[in-house]
Amino acid sequence: MKCDEARPLLDAYLDDELPAAGRAALHDHIEGCVECGPEAGALERLRNDIRRSAPVYRAPGFLRSQIRSTLRREARGASAMARAPSWLAYAASILLAVAVGSGGTWLMTGERQESSIGDELIDNHLRSLLADHLTDVASSDKHTVKPWFAGRTDVAPPGVDLAAQGFPLVGGRLDLIQGKPVPALVYRAGKHVINLFVLPAQPNALGETASRRGYTLRHWSKGDLGYWAVSDASPDEFSKFERAFRAAAGG
Amino acid sequence: MAWLSERRKRTRFEAVILPHLDAAYALARWLSRNDADAADVAQEACLRAFRYFDTYRGGDAKSWLLRIVRRTCYSWLERNRPAEIVSLESWPEIRQELEASGDTETKLQNRSDLRRLDSLIEALPAPLREVIVMRELLELDYRTIAEVANLPIGTVMSRLHRARSALRQAWDDKDIDQ
């Protein structure tokens, strides 16, 4: 074997990708050649240096659990959308509402339909906090969060980051409201979490602010989108948030 | 019942695909060069993989997942950091920069500082970086790299060779006498 035959094969030799016969021939050549021998040695040294120096990246623990819960949610959402018993999701939310409600005041009787949306939103807000499932897509980047919803929901939520105004975007989540997948944008206000649900605007929707079970619900609409923000942040924080969001979303 | 089959699908996915999450994260991390972005990409890729899981027909689960991770990562970069998508055509200039950053004096100085080698790998254009990372760090063979990167094996080999030459040029070339 000559050097100009051997050279192009050195990488494959190092990578152990040569067939046995070629490997043996190259081995003999390298052993005896004053040019190719050091060349092969240098390649091998580079490999060792890379493997010795490069950080070993492993998936962080939070990512693992985040992915698991995303999958759980996705599996649940897919089966609900496949017209499989969405009563399961409902049953779960009612059970949870009862569990939460039994400790507090229970005010559901005879209220208008919008108020039950309000309750459902608050339940979803609570569930997002309790079940350690704040987001399906965790990102402070609106360019990641907004496209994530594409094709998953009927409405496209605007991508708005309010970090500069003190409400950093945490991510997005898909919730079931009245049996339909609804996007929730998740923001932080200090230690509090604000869930902003985006639904098709409804005529006669609930008035601007409602408070129940210690949570505040604010509603506004813009064009054909209805926004429902739920949180236990202070009313001041809350109206600041609404103003910031409306300004940033152009309305 | 759809609910049950979705549940079964998830259990199987967690058993077959998720064991390769570390490799998925590592590839995303080397391509995005950032922890937070790598986590986002890995998460998005896993969700996509889960949706496409019906199309997984057995075989090497790791390369199946990595293929999705790689695609997800590139489209993520296109959306978020388009400036970083460098084609190999502008490679000559990049190579010059790389070499300039590793002139002989700093080479000798930094010989012991292995961290510099990482930054040289990170400075490689993605098409070269991904093959060197898959080969040396994920320890995949040529056939698998070709599958993941959707390239002919010959291209994998030539890119690997270019990546190694560039790293040696910038790093330890004249240094054989030590």
Check whether A186 has a pLDDT greater than 70.
Answer: yes
Question: What is the spatial distance between Cα A114 and Cα A108, in angstroms, rounded to a whole number?
Answer: 11
User: Can you give the pLDDT at residue A106?
Assistant: 30
Class of domain B2-84: mainly alpha
pLDDT in tens, B26-57: 999 999 999 999 999 999 999 999 988 988 88
Task: Single out the residue of A148, A191, A129 nearest to residue A159, CA to CA.
Answer: A148
User: Can you give the pLDDT at residue B148?
Assistant: 95
Could you tell me the two tokens for B90? 């502008």
Question: Is residue A163 less than 8 Å (CB to CB) from chain B?
Answer: no
Contacts of A228 (CB under 8 A, 6+ apart): A117, A118, A121, A196, A197, A198, A199, A217, A218, A219
Question: What is the spatial distance between Cα B8 and Cα B164, in angstroms, rounded to a whole number?
Answer: 44
For A143, the closest of B14, B80, B164 (CB atoms) is: B80
pLDDT in tens, A44-89: 999 999 998 888 999 999 999 999 988 988 887 766 555 444 444 5
Structural contact between residues A47 and A19, judged by C-beta atoms closer than 8 angstroms: no
Show me where the domains of chain A are located. Answer: 3-53, 73-248
Q: Report which of residues A203 and B120 the model is more confident about.
A: B120
User: pTM of the entire structure?
Assistant: 0.57
Helices A87-101 + A61-81 axis angle, to 10: 120
Indicate which of B4, B5, B6, B131 best probes the interface with A, i.e. most A CBs within 10 Å of its own CB.
B6
Q: For B94, list phi and psi in degrees, rounded to 5.
A: -60, -40
Check whether A33 has a pLDDT greater than 90.
Answer: yes
Bridge-partner residues for A194, per DSSP? A187
**What is the DSSP pairing of strand A192-200 with strand A225-231?**
antiparallel
User: Can you give the pLDDT at residue A199?
Assistant: 84
| Gap from A216 CA to chain B (nearest CA, Å) | 31
Question: Is residue A91 less than 8 Å (CB to CB) from chain B?
Answer: no
For residue A31, what pLDDT band results from cuts at 50, 70 and 90? very high
Instruction: Please list every residue in chain A whose beta carbon sits closer than 8 Å to the beta carbon of residue B161.
Output: 8, 11
Could you tell me the two tokens for A170? 């945490």
Indicate which of A16, A67, A72, A149 best probes the interface with B, i.e. most B CBs within 10 Å of its own CB.
A67
For A52, the closest of B9, B18, B114 (CB atoms) is: B114
Check whether A109 has a pLDDT greater than 50.
Answer: no
Question: Is residue B84 less than 8 Å (CB to CB) from chain A?
Answer: no
Check whether A112 has a pLDDT greater than 50.
Answer: no
Structural contact between residues B92 and B162, judged by C-beta atoms closer than 8 angstroms: no
Which residue in this structure is represented by tokens 């064009």? A223
Question: What is the spatial distance between Cα A25 and Cα A212, in angstroms, rounded to a whole number?
Answer: 81
Question: What is the spatial distance between Cα A44 and Cα A10, in angstroms, rounded to a whole number?
Answer: 10
ipTM: 0.83
Show me where the domains of chain B are located. Answer: 2-84, 88-175
For residue B163, what pLDDT band results from cuts at 50, 70 and 90? very high
Question: What is the spatial distance between Cα B134 and Cα B150, in angstroms, rounded to a whole number?
Answer: 13
User: Tell me, which fold does domain B88-175 have in CATH?
Assistant: Arc Repressor Mutant, subunit A (1.10.10)
- Does A49 contact B117 at a Cβ distance shorter than 8 Å? yes
DSSP A165: G
Structural contact between residues A190 and A234, judged by C-beta atoms closer than 8 angstroms: no
For the domain spanning A73-248, the CATH number is 3.30.200.100
Check whether B1 has a pLDDT greater than 60.
Answer: no
Structural contact between residues A234 and A225, judged by C-beta atoms closer than 8 angstroms: no
User: Can you give the pLDDT at residue A21?
Assistant: 85
